[in-house]
Structure 1
């Protein structure tokens, strides 16, 4: 009996926070997983995770010809994009699409039509009201896109990934903020709380009823796999939100931080207009947003399994601190913003 060909996936930015989680999720699911990275120094770490590391980027496509020179056919069933360039989103997007078209052309010649999973974010919708506000409703995939100005280019370009039906199918993903391990921007809250413990009070310039809807990075990564393994006819051409089972309020999270760090005088919520030392946290603590992901759950059977941020805060704190002690690049990136 012949053995079926193992499914293959290429993840761009496979050494990044979300990209690495996605690549490892595909490995766990039994896929042959390739990771595209810019820095050669990151390749050994990927190999240790059973990810086949490839040096290159959407802006430097020489790796494609190098693969061909190895006299092997490199066909990817799924291609995952987890990179963006905030300062010049359009150029990076166009280069990424060009790369995907090159890889899809190779796949098409070998009888495979790839599925592209393209990463955007839930902030594309803009904010919702505060917890308890009149008429409060979550963002769904049908909600209007009203991003903050710095995301306008992403919103206008990302949707165009669905326009390349001649070569590949595509899905656009919009995840909430993510947390866990070396952490995303949520790690800034640990640094904020640690300083507050010395000062004796946790000061936050945001409304305590701000909605903080986030997803553990592992759950987010598993959503990519769920879409890749779902019925192609159902998911292709769709947009999917990725979000946790429920949202938390800023008050919930702040109280959990106070308890964990034993902050003597608790939390003090300051008017948003009052500038404080840690105002770089405003996009994290002051962006009220509730995001619905029922469509993803219905179409793929995906559901999150990890604890909410406030519920597992001690575990997530210890993981973040351990990653910092190991001089994890992602922690350095997070701390540079505080």
Structure 2
């Protein structure tokens, strides 16, 4: 399909562009001006228009346009946004072609004691999205006019280093303490931006007219846990701080502060069942701790998706080292080593050769070792010596069981030689080194 996409240059729009193109569709990007956009190689074409000026949209939906995805943010004026829907949807009437509108789960308001509420839940919007349900209904009314009108409500979007979680990371770095807002038990429904992009592709291809879909990968993530993970991404290993919504309003404004303090539990099950949507990217906590919010220096490999995928796999391996160590899981820790002749020099200078020697040492020392303290492991640099061999620098910080940094204990700098065998990265050689001032 040839798909007109508003908001194509934005955070979500960039991901949707990539996934539409990968699915074989042609993206026609709506931009405010005719100037070429460097790096937008996935676009098939550009057309000029501005969703803040509905009159400028006349003629952008030509007969060749087979679908419209409206991702541009609302203007804040209900009349303007209604006129935009009119301009974009009217040319599709009587064609059965899809019009997909982007709303959000904030239209549901606080879900209270209800768990994983679905698309049939009545809306109760918070102030920042006060009139959005009216726009949803305006879109869905186009189904009676022969338009395959669909509404997608994303959860809080993360991934690619962006979205609201990036604000938590920046605040933790600026304030020296991770923050979360409102009350202790606040939860957010979350979705990875690339999983969400998959849902938009599914909606434009398969969703029936007049339907609403929740784009939620994780229904209710405690924001205190998000704050701790954001602190980790910012290199701030202290306990998160609860900020009252009134205080947050002084930083973010009253409306956005109210949204950050909104407690929700929202289901995305319908899209999985009916549309075959399969969100499978890393969880938001994993993404914050060892994903796109923590840049890694990479050497010896070309930039591109393949290298990014390999670095992500290496980070998952190091995260497995951390998980196994913290939870004293002997077999899982041994699972990170290759079986053929691995070597390991421990932080105390023990030189271990061969899998059996490493296994015997681990079974002796790991159980009970983390009762009072443990460590976190962050990949900092990756040098690809060959496509299947990588040298990896890791930062190891000692922490208490609650994740708080132990300030009077030195850091470590593990160095791993990783080997990719049968599609899986494993440790071939490792050396743990204590940092001495």
Task: Report the TM-score when normalising by structure 2.
Answer: 0.60
Inter-partner Cα distance in structure 1 for 2:248 and 2:140: 41
Unaligned runs of 5+ in 1: 1-6, 69-73, 130-134, 322-338
Alignment of 1:308-319 (within 5 A): 308-313=283-288, 314-318=290-294
Give the secondary structure class of the aligned counterpart of 2:163: coil
Task: Report the TM-score when normalising by structure 1.
Answer: 0.77
Alignment of 1:149-188 (within 5 A): 149-164=127-142, 165-188=144-167
Q: What residue number does 2:49 align with?
A: 56
Q: What residue number does 2:319 align with?
A: none
1:77 to 66, 86, 90: 66
Give the secondary structure class of the aligned counterpart of 1:138: coil
Say if 2:12 is the partner of 1:18: yes
Structure 1 contact 207–250 (Cα < 8 Å) conserved: no
Greater RCO, 1 or 2 (C-alpha within 8 Å, sep 6+): 1
Q: What residue number does 1:113 align with?
A: 96
Inter-partner Cα distance in structure 2 for 1:96 and 1:35: 17
Residues 273 and 80 (structure 1 numbering): CA distance in 2 closer, same or farther, change over 3 Å?
closer
Q: What residue number does 1:334 align with?
A: none
Unaligned runs of 5+ in 2: 298-437
Structure 2 contact 228–240 (Cα < 8 Å) conserved: yes
Per-residue deviation at 1:8?
1.8
Say if 2:25 is the partner of 1:39: no
Inter-partner Cα distance in structure 1 for 2:220 and 2:74: 28
Inter-partner Cα distance in structure 1 for 2:262 and 2:60: 44
Structure 2 contact 54–83 (Cα < 8 Å) conserved: no
Inter-partner Cα distance in structure 1 for 2:110 and 2:61: 44
Q: What residue number does 2:431 align with?
A: none
Per-residue deviation at 1:264?
5.2
Q: Deviations over 1:150-170 (max 9, x none)?
A: 322211222111212324121
Per-residue deviation at 1:23?
2.1
- Report how many residues are paired: 292
Structure 1 contact 14–20 (Cα < 8 Å) conserved: yes
Q: Deviations over 1:250-274 (max 9, x none)?
A: 1211222333434354222244445
Q: Which structure's residues are more often helix, by fraction?
A: 1
Per-residue deviation at 1:226?
1.0
Per-residue deviation at 1:85?
2.9
Provide the aligned C-alpha RMSD in A.
Answer: 2.8
Per-residue deviation at 1:300?
0.7
2:221 to 243, 248, 264: 248
Inter-partner Cα distance in structure 2 for 1:141 and 1:240: 6
Alignment of 1:87-106 (within 5 A): 87-102=76-91, 104=92
Q: Deviations over 1:229-288 (max 9, x none)?
A: 22x5xx221111110144310121122233343435422224444558645573454111
Per-residue deviation at 1:113?
2.6
Inter-partner Cα distance in structure 2 for 1:225 and 1:298: 16
Give the secondary structure class of the aligned counterpart of 1:241: strand
Q: What residue number does 1:336 align with?
A: none
Per-residue deviation at 1:89?
2.9
Q: Which structure's residues are more often strand, by fraction?
A: 2
Residues 207 and 214 (structure 1 numbering): CA distance in 2 closer, same or farther, change over 3 Å?
same
Structure 1 contact 43–53 (Cα < 8 Å) conserved: no
